[in-house]
Structure 1
């Protein structure tokens, strides 16, 4: 049984690496955008209106200095505001904005995605409430990628809220799905070899 749990943890960590990489790229990109100024020039007499970029497209736009830690190989370092034994898979925080984002990944059977979502949402709600009572803003994003590669709606929502949209979101979801599917294949293949 413990060997099976180790395999499931291995699959979870494979998908988590991909998810962390996608979020890290967005975090870095958001930090770079803050530093650049945007000027759009229009020809004289051109009747088109200049669209101003929207003020906030992502939770990450609310602060400039975000730190991120991922719970791979049990090395998660959390901000001091979290005094709890719970360890979300990915934690982003900004001391400047007093904000924290927690992402909790699950790789269940496809028909169990909604159950996994509800279970993780409830599990981390007390932690989020505790953080909010200390004057911080807290968000919890349970994310599910089915072991057969099916991305649950929670995955699409989390990426959108984090500012990952359009082609980048679609490509990111495809990466997560492919990783889950390939990892599951290797688990089944390894199991067949042991029989």
Structure 2
């Protein structure tokens, strides 16, 4: 599926984007892990969101509700942006 391959590419891009920062933090004695999450504009949830909530020890109904809320928030945000696509931005040219 096209959206799945895009999610995989987005995930790989995000992981790579913060690789240097993660290495720098570890070098300075911090524990660091990149945990990127991909959620599509229409609320399609990548497996990364499910994995993140599991790593945060969120299971069962709490995880299901959190995933639903994440999907609804992404969809509502996209709808809001789309509804204002023709409005002038608030900055000067």
TM-score (norm 1): 0.40
Radius of gyration: which is bigger?
A: 1
2:21 counterpart of 1:127: yes
1:162 is displaced (CA, Å) by 1.2
**Cα deviations by residue, 1:63-111 (Å, 9 ceiling, x for unpaired):** xxxxxxxxxxxxxxxxxxxxxxxxxxxxxxxxxxxxxxxxxxxxxxx45
Shift of 1:190: 2.3
Q: RMSD in angstroms over aligned alpha carbons? A: 1.8
1:134 is displaced (CA, Å) by 1.9
Gaps of 5+ in 1: 1-109
- CA distance in 2 between counterparts of 1:154 and 1:177 reads 13
Q: Does 2:30 match 1:136?
A: yes
Q: Which has the higher strand share?
A: 1
Runs of 4+ in structure 1 displaced over 6 angstroms? Answer: none
With normalisation by structure 2, the TM-score equals 0.80
Work out the number of aligned pairs and report it: 85
Correspondent of 1:151 among 17, 42, 45: 45
More helix by share: 2
